A and B are shown apart, each in its own frame.
Chain A
Amino acid sequence: MQVPAPIEYERATSVEHAIGLLTRLGDEARLIAGGHSLLPMMKLRLANPEYLIDINDLHGQLSYIDIGATRVRIGAMTRHRELLESVALAEVCPIFRDAERVIADPPVRNRGTLGGALCQADPSEDLSSVCTTLDASCVIRGRDGERVVSMDDFHRGPYETAVRHDEMLIEVRIPMRPHGSSAYAKVDRRAGDWAVAAAGAALWLDEHGTIADARVGLAAVGPNTTGIPAISEALRGRAPGEDAWTEAAAIAEAACRPVTDSRGSADYKRHLAGELTRRTLRTAWERVVAWR
C-alpha cells in the first residue's frame, strides 16, 4: 500500500466555502475533486499538500450539461461518466463521447471530473485537447467574482493553469455554431493508458459545403494542448477532402513538439499527430455531412 504524508481534510459545503477555505489556508491547500490525479501523486509523495478541501459535496450543484442554441455549459464537477453517457452532448459535440470512451477505465471515469482534468493540465490530458478543439472558455471564480478565460489562456504550461490558488474552476463554456461536428482519436499502448498521441478536430461548413472553420487540438505531443491556428487558417474556405486533411496533417506534424519517452519515439508521435489529425478531420466532416 502506498501511503500519502499526513494531511488535514475538510469538506466544502458551497463554492463560497471552498474559496474561503482556500483563501484562509493559503497555497498549502488543494481542492480535491475525483482525486484520480491528485491522490496518485500524493501516494507517490510527488504532491504533499497540507490541507485537502473536498468539493465532492458540490457535485449536485456543479454537475450539469446545459445545451443551448449558441453555447453548451458544463459544470466543473461533471464526471467523466456523465460526459460519456450524455446522449444530448454526443449529438452536438460527439468529440466528448469519442474521448471519454478512451479515457482511463470505469472506476476512474466514475469519479474523475472535467474540472479536475482541466486543472491538472497534464499535457497528455484528453479533455484539455477536447476543450481546446472546441474553442471552449473556462469560468473561474474567486473571492471577488468570476472571470472567463479562453483555453489558450487557461493553459499556462504543463501542470499550470490560470486558476490561482484561491480560485476555483466552475464551468466550461463551448460556443455552438451551425453545420459543425467534431471527432477525437487517440493511440494508446493499452486500454486505460494515457495517450501516446491524440488529436481532436472540429469542423464547420458553410451553406455551399465549403469549410467555414476548422480547429485541431493535440494531446501528448508538446508541453501543452493549445490549438494550431495555422490549420484553421489553411482550411478556412477550402473544399473538404483528402487534400485538405493531408495539408492539415502536415501542419500538425510540423507544429507539434513531442519528446521520446517510454510511450514512443518523438518521430512516431509526430507521425501520429499528422495521422490522427487527418483521421479526426475526416470523421468530423463525415459527421457534418451525415447530420445534414
Chain B
Amino acid sequence: MTTVDRGPVGHGRMLRKEDRRFVRGRGKFLDDIALPGMLHLAVLRSPVAHARIVSVDTLAAEAHPKVKAVVTGAMLEERGLAWMPTLSGDRQAVLATDKVRFQGQEVAFVVAEDRYSARDALELIDVEYDVLPPVVDARRALDPDAPLIRDDVAGKADNHCFDWETGDAAATAAVFDRAEVVVRQEMVFPRVHPAPLETCGAVADYDRVEEKLVLWATTQAPHAHRTLYSMFAGIPEHRIRVISPDIGGGFGNKVPIYPGYVCAIVGSMLTGRPVKWTEDRTENLIASGFARDYVMQGEIAATRDGRILALRSHVLADHGAFNGTAAPRKFPGGFFGVFTGSYDIEAAYCSMTAVHTNKAPGGVAYACSFRIAEAVYLVERMVDLLADELGVDPVELRLRNFIRSDQFPYTSRTGWVYDSGDYATTMQEALRIAGYDELRAEQAARREHAGDGQSLMGIGVSFFTEAVGAGPRKDMDMLGLGMADGCELRVHPTGSAVLRISVQTQGQGHETTFAQLVAEELGIHPENVDVVHGDTDNTPYGLGTYGSRSTPVSGAAAVIASRRVREKARLIAAGMLEVAPEDLEWTKDSSGGRFDVRGVPDSGVTIEQVAMRAHGAGDLPEGVEGGLDAQVSYNPDSLTYPYGAYICVVDIDPGTAVVKVRRFIAVDDCGTRINEMIVEGQIHGGLTDGVGMALMQFIGYDEHGNCLGGSLMDYLIPTAKEVPDWETGMTVTPSPHHPIGAKGVGESATVGSPPAVVNAVIDALAPYGVRHADMPLTPSRVWEAMQGRATPPQ
C-alpha cells in the first residue's frame, strides 16, 4: 500500500513542491523560452587581456545571409549605451570602445536567425588589437610602472579601486604590542567561480508599438534589474517587465547585470524581434562574476595560556577590470568586518586595498554571504595557527574563546550586533557526532606507525558565524535602493492562497518553504498555497535572493502578512460567531487552522469558512473590508547570525599526496528550521562547494592574462566521488528579532567548510612541519608543501 505524504500543515519535512516539474523535466528555464520570430545573439569577446582596439571591421559578418544585425561598441556609444553602471557604483563597458581590459570582454555582437549562424558570423568580424602589457598579479597592480587599466576614468593615474577599513587601529596596535604571543600568516583565498549548471542568458522582446520591454533573464534580483535598466536605458520603469524563469543555479553569479543582457535588449530594439542570448560554458567561466581573490595578511594576538586578545588583517582585494561586485553601498568590502569570527576579543582592525587587474569583474558571488567566506577562512585559519603555536588542541582553544551564550546580543569589536548563539553547545554536538577524542587517538596511533603505508590522517575544525539577511535600510542599500523585500498574500474564497514574493529562487525551494510559512501561520495546507515569484509585473518590489537573505527578509514579510491576514480573519470569525475577537482561540492541527470560542472545542469556524465569508455574501463586522489579503514590505531591524561547527577528517596518501575526505560533520544552527529536508539540502550543496574550493577549484591566469579555467575540464567541480556521506546535526537557537526566529542557511556551509578542509589537510601534514598551504590543495600543491615549498596559487 502506498500512502501519499501530504506533508505538514506548517513547518516540517516535506518534499519540494517544485520538484514535481523538475524531476519530470518540465522546468521552464531561460533556454526553454522560444518566441515566434525569435532571433539569436552571440557575443564576440576579446582574445587578449589588455589591448587598444584599433579597428573593428564588420562588413563580412553583415554579409552573412542569416545575419540581421552586427553591433559594435562605437555604435552603442552613439546611443549613449556603451557603458553601464555596476552594482557597486563603477561603470562597465557593454561593448568595448577604446580598449579591452580582460580576456573574454565583450567587443561586438551579432544577431542572426539561429544560434549557429550567429556564432559563425563572429568569425567574420575582424578586430585589430594593439596589445598592451596586462596587470595580472594584484600584488603588482599598484607598482609605479604598472600599466594603467582604467584610463576611461578622467584623472585616474593608477589601478587603485578603493580603500576601506574597520575596527580600531590604535587600540588593536596597543594590544598587539603587549601580547605574549603573536602569530602572522599570509593566505590567499584564490579566485573561484560559482559555475552554475545553467549559464546566464536573456530573451529580450521589445514591442515597438506598446513601447514595452519584456525581458526574461537569469537574474536573482529581477526588480533591482528592472530599476537599473530604466535608469540606464531611459525606458520608463512601468514599461519594463523582467521575468526570471526557473533558474539552474545562481550562487551569486546571477546578481550582476551583464553586458549580454543589455546586448539582447539593444538587439531586440534594433530588429523589432525577440532576441535570445545564452552564454556558453566558457563565456560563463571567463567573463561572468567570479568570487574571492583576496590576499590576506592575518595577525592574531593572544596570551600564553590561550586567551585570544586581538585580530588584525590587511586585505589586498582583486576586483578585476571593473568593480562589478555586488555589496551594499556602505560596505565596499562586503561584510568582511565579521572577521573577528565567533570569539570574544578585545580589539580588531582590518584595512583593505582593492585594485584593478586585467581580469574579469565580479567579486561577491559563490554563496559567500558578502565576503564572509573570506573572513571566516581568515579567522579560522588564524585560530588553528595559534593553536599550533601554543600547542593546544584547536577545539580547546575555540571553546576557551567563544562568545558566551549570556553575552548575546553581542556587539563585536567591528560593530556587528550578533543576535543569538550558544556556540559551545553546537561545538560539543559536533564533537559528539565525530567522536573527536577517538579520532585524535587514531591519529596518534597512525603517526606512531608512520611509514608502514599509513595514510596521513588530519582532523580539521572550523566554527563560523555569518551575518545574513541584508539589511536594515538605515545601513544598507544598493545604488540607493533599500534592501527591503515585499510580499503580498491573497486568500481566495475557497481557502487556498497565493503568495507573491519579491525574492527569486534558484534552487532553494522557495515555492515550498514560503508555502509552509503561510501554512504555519494560517493553517492552510502548503499544497493550497501557490508561491509566485520572479515576475516584476506580478510580484511586489524587493531586492532579490542572495546573501542568504530570502528567509530573514522576505520570509519575515511572508510571516507578517500571514499574521495580518489571521488577525483580520479573527475579526471576521468573531462576527460570524457573534463573540468578541478576544474570546476566540486560534488552533492549528493537521486538518488546518480554526477559531473556536475559548474553552468550547469545535464551536468555531475554519480558516476556509472565514475566507468564504470574507469574499462572500453576509455582513462583515463594522469597519472590516471584504477580502482576505495583506501586503508587507519588511525592513529588517538587524541582521541574523547563523553559525555552525564543522569537523573534517582527511587521509592523505603519503606517496602521491592525494587528499581523500573521509568524514565531514556539520552541525548548523540557523535558528528555527522551516523544512529540515531543504535545510539539509542547502548544507549538502554548500559542503560540496567547500570541498571543491579547498581541493580543486581555481580560476588561474597565465602571465599574459589568459584565463586558465575556461572549461569544466580545467575548472573542476567535485563529484559524488570526492565527497563523503555528509554527517549533519543541528542545534536551534532562534533569532530574537525574526518573527519565527529563522536565520537563513543558504550560504552557511559554503562559508564554513573551506577552512575545515584546509585545517584538516594542514593537520595531516604537521609531521612534515607544514604550517600553512593555500587552496586549492591539489595533489601537486600538497606534495610541494610536503617538500617544504608551499607557494601561493598562480
User: What is A's interface to B at a CB cutoff of 8 Å?
Assistant: 1-3, 5-6, 40, 44-45, 105, 187, 189-194, 196, 262-265, 267-269, 271-272, 275-276, 279
CA separation between A288 and B778, bound complex, in Å?
Answer: 34
Closest A residue, CB atoms, query B779: A187
Q: Collect the chain A residues with CB atoms within 8 Å of residue B784's CB.
A: 265, 267-268
A1 contacts B115, C-beta separation under 8 Å: yes
Assuming the contacts A189-B779, A265-B780, A271-B783, asked whether A5 and B120 have C-beta atoms less than 8 A apart, the reply is: yes
Residue from B120, B123, B658, B695 in contact with A187 in the complex, judged by beta carbons closer than 8 Å: B658
CB of B116 closer than 8 Å to a CB of A: yes
Q: Collect the chain A residues with CB atoms within 8 Å of residue B280's CB.
A: 1-3
Q: Collect the chain B residues with CB atoms within 8 Å of residue A5's CB.
A: 120, 123
B719 contacts A275, C-beta separation under 8 Å: no
CA separation between A265 and B120, bound complex, in Å?
Answer: 37
Residue from A3, A187, A264, A275 in contact with B115 in the complex, judged by beta carbons closer than 8 Å: A3
State the 10 A-B residue pairs at the shortest beta-carbon distance, nearest first. Answer: A264-B780, A191-B721, A268-B780, A2-B280, A190-B716, A268-B783, A275-B655, A3-B119, A187-B656, A191-B719
* Closest CB in chain B relative to A140 CB, distance in Å: 29
Best-surrounded residue of A191, A196, A262, A279 (most CB of chain B within 10 A): A262
Q: Collect the chain B residues with CB atoms within 8 Å of residue A271's CB.
A: 783
CB of B177 closer than 8 Å to a CB of A: no
* Closest CB in chain A relative to B734 CB, distance in Å: 39
Closest B residue, CB atoms, query A185: B656
B780 contacts A196, C-beta separation under 8 Å: yes
Q: Collect the chain A residues with CB atoms within 8 Å of residue B711's CB.
A: 44
* Closest CB in chain B relative to A31 CB, distance in Å: 23
Q: Collect the chain B residues with CB atoms within 8 Å of residue A191's CB.
A: 719, 721-722
Q: Which residues in window 677-726 of B have CB below 8 A to A? A: 695-696, 698, 700, 708, 711, 713-714, 716-719, 721-722
CA separation between A124 and B658, bound complex, in Å?
Answer: 18
Q: Collect the chain B residues with CB atoms within 8 Å of residue A45's CB.
A: 123
Residue from B31, B657, B719 in contact with A190 in the complex, judged by beta carbons closer than 8 Å: B719
CB of B281 closer than 8 Å to a CB of A: yes
Assuming the contacts A3-B119, A264-B778, A275-B656, asked whether A190 and B700 have C-beta atoms less than 8 A apart, the reply is: no
A262 contacts B783, C-beta separation under 8 Å: no
Q: Collect the chain B residues with CB atoms within 8 Å of residue A190's CB.
A: 696, 716-719, 721-722
Q: Collect the chain B residues with CB atoms within 8 Å of residue A44's CB.
A: 282, 711
Q: Collect the chain B residues with CB atoms within 8 Å of residue A192's CB.
A: 719
Q: Interface size of B by Cβ–Cβ distance < 8 Å?
A: 34
CB of B278 closer than 8 Å to a CB of A: yes
Closest B residue, CB atoms, query A262: B708
Closest B residue, CB atoms, query A279: B655
Q: Collect the chain B residues with CB atoms within 8 Å of residue A3's CB.
A: 115-116, 119, 280
CA separation between A263 and B781, bound complex, in Å?
Answer: 10
Q: Collect the chain B residues with CB atoms within 8 Å of residue A262's CB.
A: 698, 700, 708, 714
* Closest CB in chain B relative to A269 CB, distance in Å: 8
CA separation between A3 and B40, bound complex, in Å?
Answer: 13
Q: Collect the chain B residues with CB atoms within 8 Å of residue A267's CB.
A: 784, 787
CA separation between A193 and B692, bound complex, in Å?
Answer: 14
* Closest CB in chain B relative to A248 CB, distance in Å: 15
Q: Collect the chain A residues with CB atoms within 8 Å of residue B778's CB.
A: 189, 263-264
B716 contacts A189, C-beta separation under 8 Å: yes
Q: Which residues in window 643-664 of B have CB below 8 A to A? A: 655-658
* Closest CB in chain B relative to A194 CB, distance in Å: 7
* Closest CB in chain A relative to B589 CB, distance in Å: 48
CA separation between A1 and B658, bound complex, in Å?
Answer: 34
* Closest CB in chain A relative to B721 CB, distance in Å: 4
* Closest CB in chain B relative to A166 CB, distance in Å: 28
CA separation between A189 and B656, bound complex, in Å?
Answer: 11
CA separation between A267 and B657, bound complex, in Å?
Answer: 13
* Closest CB in chain A relative to B644 CB, distance in Å: 26
CA separation between A189 and B716, bound complex, in Å?
Answer: 8
CA separation between A263 and B123, bound complex, in Å?
Answer: 31
Residue from B120, B278, B780, B787 in contact with A263 in the complex, judged by beta carbons closer than 8 Å: B780
Best-surrounded residue of B31, B281, B716, B787 (most CB of chain A within 10 A): B716
Q: Which residues in window 739-794 of B have CB below 8 A to A? A: 778-780, 783-784, 787
B779 contacts A264, C-beta separation under 8 Å: yes
Q: Collect the chain B residues with CB atoms within 8 Å of residue A1's CB.
A: 31, 115, 278, 280
A272 contacts B656, C-beta separation under 8 Å: yes
CA separation between A69 and B754, bound complex, in Å?
Answer: 54
Q: Which residues in window 85-123 of B have CB below 8 A to A? A: 115-116, 119-120, 123
- Not counting A40-B713, A262-B700, a sample of 19 additional A-B residue pairs whose C-beta atoms are within 8 angstroms of each other reads A1-B31, A2-B282, A3-B115, A44-B282, A189-B778, A190-B716, A190-B719, A190-B721, A190-B722, A191-B722, A192-B719, A194-B713, A263-B780, A264-B780, A265-B784, A268-B780, A271-B783, A275-B655, A279-B655
* Closest CB in chain A relative to B708 CB, distance in Å: 5
CA separation between A269 and B656, bound complex, in Å?
Answer: 10
CA separation between A272 and B654, bound complex, in Å?
Answer: 11
* Closest CB in chain A relative to B330 CB, distance in Å: 38
CA separation between A276 and B779, bound complex, in Å?
Answer: 14
Q: Collect the chain A residues with CB atoms within 8 Å of residue B657's CB.
A: 268
Closest A residue, CB atoms, query B656: A187
Q: Collect the chain A residues with CB atoms within 8 Å of residue B695's CB.
A: 189
* Closest CB in chain A relative to B168 CB, distance in Å: 42
Q: Collect the chain B residues with CB atoms within 8 Å of residue A194's CB.
A: 713
Could you jot down 25 A-B contacts, CB within 8 Å? A1-B115, A3-B115, A3-B116, A5-B120, A6-B120, A40-B713, A44-B711, A187-B658, A187-B779, A189-B696, A190-B717, A190-B721, A190-B722, A193-B713, A196-B779, A263-B778, A264-B779, A264-B783, A265-B784, A269-B780, A271-B783, A272-B656, A275-B655, A275-B656, A279-B655
Q: Collect the chain B residues with CB atoms within 8 Å of residue A6's CB.
A: 116, 120
* Closest CB in chain A relative to B709 CB, distance in Å: 8
Closest B residue, CB atoms, query A1: B280
CA separation between A267 and B785, bound complex, in Å?
Answer: 12
Q: Collect the chain B residues with CB atoms within 8 Å of residue A196's CB.
A: 779-780
CA separation between A44 and B783, bound complex, in Å?
Answer: 33
CA separation between A153 and B300, bound complex, in Å?
Answer: 61
Closest A residue, CB atoms, query B711: A44
CA separation between A262 and B713, bound complex, in Å?
Answer: 11
Best-surrounded residue of A3, A40, A192 (most CB of chain B within 10 A): A3
* Closest CB in chain B relative to A245 CB, distance in Å: 12
CA separation between A189 and B691, bound complex, in Å?
Answer: 12
Q: Collect the chain A residues with CB atoms within 8 Å of residue B116's CB.
A: 3, 6
* Closest CB in chain B relative to A157 CB, distance in Å: 22
* Closest CB in chain B relative to A137 CB, distance in Å: 31
Q: Collect the chain B residues with CB atoms within 8 Å of residue A272's CB.
A: 656
CA separation between A268 and B658, bound complex, in Å?
Answer: 12
Closest B residue, CB atoms, query A260: B780
Closest A residue, CB atoms, query B776: A189
**C-beta contact mask, B107-141 vs A, less than 8 Å → 1, else 0?**
00000000110011001000000000000000000
Residue from A40, A105, A268, A279 in contact with B779 in the complex, judged by beta carbons closer than 8 Å: A268
CA separation between A262 and B718, bound complex, in Å?
Answer: 16
Q: Collect the chain A residues with CB atoms within 8 Å of residue B658's CB.
A: 187
CA separation between A45 and B120, bound complex, in Å?
Answer: 10
* Closest CB in chain A relative to B305 CB, distance in Å: 41
Closest B residue, CB atoms, query A272: B656
* Closest CB in chain B relative to A179 CB, distance in Å: 27
Best-surrounded residue of B280, B282, B655, B717 (most CB of chain A within 10 A): B655
Q: Collect the chain A residues with CB atoms within 8 Å of residue B655's CB.
A: 275, 279
* Closest CB in chain B relative to A30 CB, distance in Å: 19
CA separation between A193 and B696, bound complex, in Å?
Answer: 11
